[in-house]
Amino acid sequence: MSEPTRPLPPPTPLPNGGWALHSFTSSKEHKVRGLGLVPPNHIVPVIVVPGIMGTNLRARRTPRLSRKVDERNAAAAPGGPVWRPPNGIQEGYREALMWEKRSAAERQKLFDGPTLEVDEGGPVQLQDAVDGFVLSESHARERGWGEVHADSYGVLLHALEMRLNQTFGFDDIGKKRFLFQHWKDVMACEPRKWGLREFESLTEAHLQKHAQHYFPVYAVGYNWLEDCGQSSQRLEQRIREIIAFWTGTKRRCDQVILVTHSMGGLVARACARRIPDKIAGVIHGVMPAFGAPAAYRRMACGTETTSPDNGPLDDIAASKLALILGETTEKTTAVLATSPGALELLPNHLYPGPWLHVRVSTSLGKPPPATGTMTAVGADDGQPGGDYLHFPSATSPNPYDLYRDMNSWYRLINPALADPAGRHAKYRNGVKEAIRTALDTAENFHRSLGDFYHPNTYVFYGDDQRKRSYGQVRWVARQQAGSPTAATGANVAAARFIGHTALGQRRVRLEEKADLLFDIEEQDARGDGTVPRQSGSGPSGKVKQVFATRGYDHQASYKHPDTLLLTLRLIVKIVQEMP
């Protein structure tokens, strides 16, 4: 028994309730023994649900074609990859050069929601073994890891698979049990890193109960261009399939745990509303619970390339990302305007308002009111400069009325930019009908979901003053002294749209006499660079616990060591409440 050992890959479940361990023979001179760890028979699958653009997509392999349905993608062959986001800096730069050349019409043809499906063939990144424990690529693919963006979720998937299933080890020399270091790290993490003064202690007794379960880790993607409600049906189907698989091997598997990122939280909430009994608990990370004004900004002006918190290298990276996502309103509108999933990230009816403002400043008169003392919608302070328009308002409280307005110069959607490929020419009212249909779908989703959360839910969000996000959107213009027409609430609201610049600025004409150039102010609120704190903290009072965290940007939230430790800790808490 003195020979060294090497851990074998995780065992494969057999239909009769047993486990199959796979190894290989070696020469007699090779004295390393294979160590097979047999998991418990109480299975609790952990399912990671990614955010928008975090799922790989391809053209439908078998598109339907009929008088009412056309699922053929106009730019990709059946089964051809459409969206596999880049992994790493070098790949990102190459992708940016490629996407920069794609026109708005080409993007619309590619990102045509009804013609796409989840692509499970994306890259899978397996990290270095933890304490010798290894997972094969074939196992990872069977669990859906190829469905999601490897660079965003690879660290999370691997950490959960390795650490959840290694709690206690046994010291052959000392003949005693020991606790693996990664759980010691969880126990030692200071609560202030999670925005708390104190947190219930994690004990070995808690981990003892945790160790009585096996936690296979899955990823379940979805078509993020489509309605989150529709995407939740795919998640529900996979949950039922996963539970059925494990019960079919004569093991106990009653519920799953969901770990969500961003938009995936909306998908998971809709799913949990239908099958709460199949879900033991949910962990939502950086979820835009009330939506995010950044979604308005990106459609109206193109993806932002700067932030007041960025250094020079950060701005370079942001500019490359913008080339991929769409750096102009032409490119973003062509994809997002008729995509319900994207529209469901806009500030919804629960977002604290007003959040959209119009300001005109001049060199004369009193300065514009400070944030928090803005005048009412359409009001004029009697001076040649001030804040005039604020939406939503007491007279127009529904933000979807703002989104449906395709005439005002401050509109979200310019219908002239929404169908460069002519995809919606078949509608009687053209692309406007397609836009309204998508907006109706998005509003219905938000209204039906409301403030529902699974009863065993935990939430963390970004609350970082160095990762500012759009908490408000402010269109600002400067009017020169002596202008023939002074700005007022009435003439700013009625101004005629003339055109926009490549940077998304909008030129308008007041009373056909004076022109103003409006630009959007920089990010203003604490957050994670995308979701502001007023949306991320939205579940407060409706869930078990909410954690204000910092130190990461939105997309990389689950790559931060503190959020990984928090996720592990919360899974242990969820397990304590299981029978």
State the Cα–Cα distance between residues 514 and 526, nearest whole angstrom.
36
Q: Sign of torsion, CA 138 567 242 163?
A: positive
Average pLDDT over residues 135-144: 90
Which of these, 323, 374, 268, lies nearest to 502 by C-alpha position? 323
State the Cα–Cα distance between residues 500 and 507, nearest whole angstrom.
6
The per-residue pLDDT for 35 is 59
State the Cα–Cα distance between residues 562 and 193, nearest whole angstrom.
7
What is the per-residue pLDDT across 453-476, written as a single tens digit (0 to 9) for each?
Answer: 999 999 999 999 999 999 999 999
Average pLDDT over residues 516-537: 97
Q: What percent of the chain has pLDDT over 90?
A: 77
What is the per-residue pLDDT across 32-89, written as a single tens digit (0 to 9) for each?
Answer: 665 556 788 999 999 999 999 999 999 999 999 887 788 999 999 999 999 999 999 9
The per-residue pLDDT for 374 is 34
Structural domains of the chain, with CATH: 40-53+118-286+531-576 (3.40.50)
The answer to whether 570 touches 460, Cβ cutoff 8 Å, is no
The per-residue pLDDT for 176 is 87
**Residue 384, pLDDT above cutoff 70:** no
pTM equals 0.92
Residue 240 pLDDT grade (very low, low, confident, very high; cuts 50, 70, 90): very high
Mean pLDDT of the chain: 90
**Residue 478, pLDDT above cutoff 60:** yes
**Residue 4, pLDDT above cutoff 80:** no
- H-helix segments, 114-219: 137-142, 150-164, 181-188, 204-210
Kind of pairing between the strands at 5-7 and 279-285: unpaired
What is the per-residue pLDDT across 261-279, written as a single tens digit (0 to 9) for each?
Answer: 999 999 999 999 999 999 9
State the first-to-last Cα distance of the chain, in angstroms, to the nearest integer. 38
What is the per-residue pLDDT across 389-428, written as a single tens digit (0 to 9) for each?
Answer: 999 998 889 999 999 999 999 999 999 999 999 988 877 7
Q: Longest C-alpha distance within the chain, in Å?
A: 96
**Residue 380, pLDDT above cutoff 80:** no
